[in-house]
């Protein structure tokens, strides 16, 4: 019986940690691009790279030089093409490491207080969504963990108001001058209203999605914000996060998701 010698394998604890960290990074990257147009772009880049390897081995000089020029600037091309995904990835890292809003002591030992505070901010939004759903009033409410004043306020009206059911209903009332655009909530306050948000480039969305849905998905693609959308046509509530949208959301489910993400 032949014995195999595995003495050449020297696995250290740091090697295991190294593999786990790489797996964690790949998992986060997969979550960021899953279900978005970035998957198709990445697949296209991989196909071009393997095509370059094939034509290079076949000594097809003209095609090899052309594809080689593209591959040689591949790193820069990746940054340009995936700038939104890279931005979201860095925001994800910064969000987990930041101590700006919640200290580690509060996070570890006062979770109940944090949950109660969050629920107090979320409850008026859910109540407003119930009313707007019944009246078929279109609405787009964005919860931003990091409020970029220059980005949001340049496209909307500054408010800095306490969150209330009646205020949200009056903003999105059909004849209100602020009903077009989005309401942005951050730090437990309505920071601004009537904000114009970037639209998503995703071409695989349902045809009945209007500008509100596309704007809600768009802001969730380029930031760590989440968006609640109330359809004017159907009254259906949708929830956008990381470029993906969940439709026909119930009130209980909406509360759970906002408690987790807002």
Cα–Cα dist 18/29, whole Å: 17
| Judgement on whether residues 197 and 77 belong to the same structural domain of the protein | no
Domain boundary among 81, 116, 139: 81
| Judgement on whether residues 250 and 168 belong to the same structural domain of the protein | yes
| Judgement on whether residues 40 and 116 belong to the same structural domain of the protein | no
| Judgement on whether residues 169 and 124 belong to the same structural domain of the protein | yes
Q: At what angle do helices 83-97 and 13-33 cross, to 10 degrees?
A: 120
1 lies in a domain?
no
| Judgement on whether residues 166 and 243 belong to the same structural domain of the protein | yes
Element (H, E) at 150: helix 149-153
- What is the residue range of 151's domain? 104-261
Q: For 195, which DSSP code?
A: E
Say what percent of the chain tops pLDDT 70: 75
> For residue 189, how far is the Cα from the chain centroid?
21
| Judgement on whether residues 198 and 116 belong to the same structural domain of the protein | yes
| Judgement on whether residues 18 and 70 belong to the same structural domain of the protein | yes
Per-residue pLDDT at 126: 93
The phi and psi torsions of 159 (rounded to 5 degrees) equal -125, -55
Domain of 252: which CATH number?
Answer: 3.40.1700.10
More confident residue, 81 or 135: 135
pLDDT in tens, 113-167: 545 556 678 999 999 999 999 999 999 999 988 777 666 767 788 888 999 999 9
97 lies in a domain?
no
pTM above 0.85, yes or no: no
């Amino acid at each position: 019986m032949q014995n195999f010698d595995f003495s050449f394998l020297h696995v250290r604890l740091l090697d295991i940690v190294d593999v786990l960290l790489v797996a964690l990074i790949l998992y986060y990257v997969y979550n960021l691009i899953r279900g978005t147009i970035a998957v198709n772009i990445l697949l296209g880049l991989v196909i071009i790279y393997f095509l370059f390897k094939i034509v290079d081995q076949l000594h097809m000089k003209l095609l090899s030089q052309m594809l080689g020029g593209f591959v040689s600037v591949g790193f820069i091309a990746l940054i340009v093409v995936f700038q939104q995904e890279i931005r979201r990835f860095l925001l994800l890292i910064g969000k987990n490491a930041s101590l700006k809003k919640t200290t580690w002591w509060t996070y570890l030992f006062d979770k109940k207080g944090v949950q109660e505070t969050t629920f107090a901010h979320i409850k008026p939004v859910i109540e407003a969504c119930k009313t707007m759903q019944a009246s078929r009033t279109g609405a787009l409410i964005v919860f931003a963990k990091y409020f970029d004043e220059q980005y949001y306020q340049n496209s909307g009206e500054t408010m800095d108001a306490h969150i209330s059911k009646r205020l949200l209903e009056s903003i999105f009332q059909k004849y209100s001058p602020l009903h077009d655009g989005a309401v942005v909530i951050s730090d437990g306050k309505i920071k601004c209203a009537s904000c114009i948000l970037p639209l998503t480039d995703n071409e695989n969305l349902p045809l009945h999605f209007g500008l509100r849905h596309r704007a809600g998905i768009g802001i969730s693609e380029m930031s760590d914000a989440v968006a609640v959308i109330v359809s004017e046509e159907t009254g259906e509530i949708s929830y956008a996060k990381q470029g993906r949208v969940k439709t026909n959301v119930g009130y209980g489910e909406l509360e759970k998701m906002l408690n987790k993400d807002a």
